[in-house]
Amino acid sequence: DAGVTQSPTHLIKTRGQQVTLRCSPKSGHDTVSWYQQALGQGPQFIFQYYEEEERQRGNFPDRFSGHQFPNYSSELNVNALLLGDSALYLCASRTAGETQYFGPGTRLLVL
């Protein structure tokens, strides 16, 4: 049984560009959350998706948007990239009432 998978593992972008990160949840999980982990910090909640809708959102600007597909996979989109968006982006999935399981993350570097 595959756990949470994310792609790509690494990518480099320049300021002003747009990026899309992808996440496939653990089998049987229907809720996906995204977190941003800056270097030396704990993960910060971006948003959570359930039934293809954004259920909850953290303190992130509208440049950060997401989507959940009918198969529960999810995308995180970031527009107009800033240097400060450089971070490890973590996807987590769960089903009702259960613990969140995290993927390995996508490391984004903005130059």
Partner 1 sequence: AQSVTQPDIHITVSEGASLELRCNYSYGATPYLFWYVQSPGQGLQLLLKYFSGDTLVQGIKGFEAEFKRSQSSFNLRKPSVHWSDAAEYFCAVGEGRGSTLGRLYFGRGTQLTVWP
CB of 47 to partner 1, least distance (A): 9
CB of 16 to partner 1, least distance (A): 27
Token pair in block for residue 14: 């320049």
Q: Which stretches of the chain bind partner 1, using CB under 8 A?
A: 4, 33, 35, 40-45, 48, 55-56, 58, 90, 92, 94, 96-105, 107
Query: Looking at beta carbons only, is 20 or 58 nearer to partner 1?
Result: 58
> What is residue 85's three-state secondary structure?
helix
Strand partners, 24: 5
Contacts of 97 (CB under 8 A, 6+ apart): none
